[in-house]
A = this chain, B = another copy of it.
């Protein structure tokens, strides 16, 4: 008999009578089947296959369907993933090396890391609807600035290794002429040294590793750009670098200090003994170990280097009514920065984790942090004392939380004994064991740890009192820090919760309305995908734990690599890069290594279309390549220009970088041909995978001709944007490039001729990989393809609806765009003195985040709806855009004056709307509620439009002092 069960056709699962119902694709894709039919009519296609064939060139439309598993239901997914997770063994870790276990305050865990109000936010480019996270990132900057004793800190970097590399490059380029020698103290973490070395190669920087306190620097003369020291060092030692700093400065070099924020609550900060830059990992401030990431690295420097800071910097500004407001200042390396200026490719960073670390600082305050540090230090002293009594030598003279212990009989036995007790130690060398303590260590843990060193198996330390600190007076910090109100107010859970909610309430996120940023793919970050991230089995494992303890992660990583390879058509994947741009960097370095391996060392030119994302040329630059632009005509690659340049530089041609579908939002017909041209001239094709959401299930980068491609898992594969990070930017490569995939000095990864690591952790940011894994497993073959279909349909539907009101730039011969499209605002400059930014700000009044502004074409808006938006939401957005077009018409018709109208004055805040007088050519109600749905559901910007130049001129990048709150 026929089953009564109905098939949900927006789902992918092949239905038999026994199929489960909680299939995921129908929850992930936004529109109902009946709405999809209505959209087909508007777009003028019969069905999804028809849509695809009118959109994607026939010569690339995949003949081979995806060969993944069928989609799991949400319920099944969690059961399967729990089994995978349970294969990770959680040992007590004393490995250290820049990663320390931490107690994540549950109020922060639940209300930030697990809250869509925080994790679905975009980068705060629109400050008027982002004051909450801007404030929180400013707290991060203030905390870092204070603790390091520097003048300015940025709002996070990808990891400590990257931060060190960025700092090295600043030292390299800060002087009048480039200085090619850089010295690294041997007592830095090995992964930091390795990341530096990877980065140094392309700049022909000579990295010398040695003992900084004994080294003869005079030999380098003026060629020494700077040095990196670690404080406390990887072996735990606290050194006095004051004299060293003087020496290096006298030679014209910079002092970069890798450091530990928690130690700095007790120790004289680097800024006070002469360092120019301080970098490090803020992970131990309440961010889970997560097998290596994501964590927020920090970067702080002295005043003279401010305008060279990589990444994002939040500053304090004022809105038109004089209200204090935060904004991104000095976005030195953002996508809208002129490409020639870029010396860093960092764009996505670690905002979500920086927010967690900042909140940890807010919750504990300076006294709380000090108490945590002191307790760890007390424990370490006590441990050292007891170990000594058992006849071992402590090699570390002055320490904070880390000891190196000399083991006369060889370290292996102790290392093994610890393992048997469920304890991970650091085996530094054959005779040395490293131990790092953290805030999670209890008295019982200490007992167990000491017993590993006791020869008598019945020994139990008494632990009546802690032992005296051995840190000499000269190292003890006397300066205060974090005296601002924000770090001294929210120490009860109630206050903390309200502070978190208060900030969140100012920020528009995906929990409110669509964020249609072209090239950013702001799709659903499903709860089921997010749940595993905070499972202890994934969260509490050290990146350098013995690999047999990380079996669960191994399975996860292998399956994800397999699935991504199948999706892209590539042969090998590296998950190491922590962002799209790091993927670009890794991919270009792999290409470089490949050429080199064939003796093709001269190949150093990278062809990049005009329209490329700013990270492309920046990545090429930091990979030591010379960038040549390729022209675009009317949205299409200029094939003639491409061929000419490829042929002209055929001996130097290293790579061509291409985004597909193009940054103009179309599936260009010439892409196959372009790849052929490049290959013919000996170049490699790098595909920027930012637009992968338009390809999955329809075509594959490897089939199109790419040799390498990065994917933004934080776009296409559902890792949330987190307000500007985390990200994961894996690269896929064809087999000839596999040997060159990036390695790691501590845990083996990559190919046998692999380039050095591009990230500090072997697998980048494993803690968030369950998200993408889950997405792929729940969508399955059919579901993934359906998402692409919906993404294309949504974009084309919107383009059709808006085309009667705005000019839509660039469609293909069938009038179709890909998954995004560009709306032209340029005509209104003359007709109404209105620019893209005015439309963007007015959209805020309608409850929407602006689409991508002025990229890749200036004075346009690029809209990418993604598959997860419903027709209802698309229509609300279109209605808003159409209403704004009519508002522009009012200006064109002279009903509203140019320069003082409902667009140029946008966004409107409540504070301005309730002012007693009102002298605008429109009413308060028109400003606030131009469309009916807003009366029911409206998101309010909390400050008025910010003046960019005011902020950059008056650079204040830390929290206002207490007095500011007293008036």
Contact = CB atoms under 8 A, between A and B. Distances in A.
A463 B107 contact: no
A679 B309 CA distance: 79
Contact of A367 (B6, B114, B497): B6
A19 B491 CA distance: 19
Contacts of A527: 106-107, 109-111, 493
A510 B524 contact: no
Interface string A369-403: 01110110111000000000000000000000000
A106 B498 contact: no
A936 to B, nearest CB: 8
A821 to B, nearest CB: 21
A31 to B, nearest CB: 8
Copies assembled: 2
Interface stretch (A147-155, A465-473, A628-636): A465-473
Interface in A890-931: 910-911, 913-916, 923-925, 927-929
Contacts of A937: 502
A29 B103 contact: no
Contacts of A916: 923-925
Contacts of A497: 116, 510-511
B30 A494 contact: yes
Given A4-B378, A439-B21, A495 B873 contact: yes
Contacts of A463: 18
A4 B914 CA distance: 54
A74 interface: yes
A681 interface: no
Contacts of A597: none
A446 interface: yes
A377 B4 contact: yes
A604 to B, nearest CB: 45
A914 B914 contact: yes
Contacts of A21: 368, 371-372, 375, 439
A354 B869 CA distance: 28
Nearest to A367: B6
A491 B32 contact: yes
A844 to B, nearest CB: 16
B928 A910 contact: yes
Given A374-B5, A494-B869, A528-B106, A913 B911 contact: no
Contacts of A935: 323, 911
A804 interface: no
A872 interface: yes
Given A22-B103, A463-B18, A916-B923, A5 B493 contact: no
A531 B377 contact: no
A26 interface: yes
Interface in A724-755: none
Contacts of A446: 18
Contacts of A469: 4
A17 interface: yes
Interface string A653-674: 0000000000000000000000
Contacts of A247: none
A442 interface: yes
Interface in A485-500: 489, 491-495, 497-498
A410 interface: no
A873 B465 CA distance: 39
Contact of A467 (B1, B74, B531): B1
Interface in A471-515: 489, 491-495, 497-498, 501-502, 505, 510-513
A8 B371 contact: yes
Contacts of A929: 911, 914
A81 B415 CA distance: 32
Nearest to A500: B511
B465 A3 contact: yes
A28 B494 CA distance: 7
Interface string A927-957: 1110000010100100000000000000000
A640 interface: no
Contact of A501 (B75, B107, B511, B940): B511
A482 to B, nearest CB: 15
A937 B911 CA distance: 12
Nearest to A523: B494
A60 B32 CA distance: 66
Nearest to A925: B914
A870 interface: yes
Interface in A846-890: 868-870, 872-873
Report, nearest first, the 4 A-B pairs whose CB atoms are least far apart: A106-B527, A4-B374, A18-B443, A914-B924
Interface of A: 1, 3-6, 8, 16-18, 20-22, 26-32, 74-76, 103, 105-107, 109-111, 114, 116-117, 323, 367-368, 370-372, 374-375, 377-379, 439-440, 442-443, 446, 463, 465-469, 489, 491-495, 497-498, 501-502, 505, 510-513, 524, 526-528, 530-531, 868-870, 872-873, 910-911, 913-916, 923-925, 927-929, 935, 937, 940
Given A1-B467, A495-B872, 14 more contacts: A3-B375, A6-B367, A17-B466, A21-B368, A31-B492, A107-B526, A109-B527, A110-B527, A110-B530, A111-B527, A494-B873, A498-B512, A501-B512, A915-B924
